[in-house]
Chains A and B, each alone.
Chain A
Amino acid sequence: DAKTTQPTSMDCAEGRAANLPCNHSTISGNEYVYWYRQIHSQGPQYIIHGLKNNETNEMASLIITEDRKSSTLILPHATLRDTAVYYCIPTSGGSNYKLTFGKGTLLTVNP
């Protein structure tokens, strides 16, 4: 699986958009980019994933660059409950599939 680089921490004002970057320059052609978040002392929660095209769901939007070397998770209107560690995880499928979680980005949403 590709290595990733994420900022250690970020701050965002409540109600503003939170843009979380992830660099995955070694991503291979069959690897999707998955995003999860983990609120303190809870299990991680799946947010969104994509391969080439931008994706949007009720939680967030995912923007993947054309060369697929980086992506940005966008929370359009951050709330205090969005304070969490966000993980960017490139991975492929297959019969022996597994996810590898790095240290992620701690997003703090401030009132």
Chain B
Amino acid sequence: DGGITQSPKYLFRKEGQNVTLSCEQNLNHDAMYWYRQDPGQGLRLIYYSQIVNDFQKGDIAEGYSVSREKKESFPLTVTSAQKNPTAFYLCASNPRQLLGELFFGEGSRLTVL
């Protein structure tokens, strides 16, 4: 079935460690997004990419990095520079012609110990 796959679903890391969250889509969508969600809060945009080999910072990009080497993949690295990395991370994608209709993955929950 077509969709967006995020992995891992749950991840624990020690302070000072970098961690990479995977996001893969087989929907042939052009655009991909990473959001962060904290308890009781809405979603905040970290990075987004409209096409391969191009990406833009969202509202809270500090401490994060991304790459878009392939259309179907948009991994997010949470670096040690991110002061409060514990959160629920959501990846999304959409085709260029469907503007606001984002398709979301099931999320990755990161806990820093």
Q: Answer whether residue A65 sits at the interface, using C-beta atoms and an 8 A cutoff.
A: no
Main secondary structure of the interface of B (DSSP, over half): strand
Look across to chain A and name the residue whose beta carbon is closest to the beta carbon of B58. A98
Which size bracket describes the interface of A in this complex?
Answer: 20 to 34
> Is B45 engaged at the interface, CB distance under 8 Å to the other chain?
yes
Residue picked from B88, B101, B102, B107, most chain A C-beta under 10 Å: B102
Interface size on B, residues (CB 8 A): 28
Query: B110 to chain A: closest CB distance in Å?
Result: 14
List residues of A (26-62) whose CB comes within 8 Å of B's CBs: 32, 34, 36, 41-46, 49
Query: Is B11 at the interface (CB under 8 A from chain A)?
Result: no
Give the Cβ gap from A18 to chain B, nearest Cβ, in Å.
20
B103 and A41 within 8 A (CB):
no
**Chain B residues near A (Cβ < 8 Å):** 4, 31, 33, 35, 40-45, 48, 50, 56, 58-59, 88, 90, 92, 99-107, 109
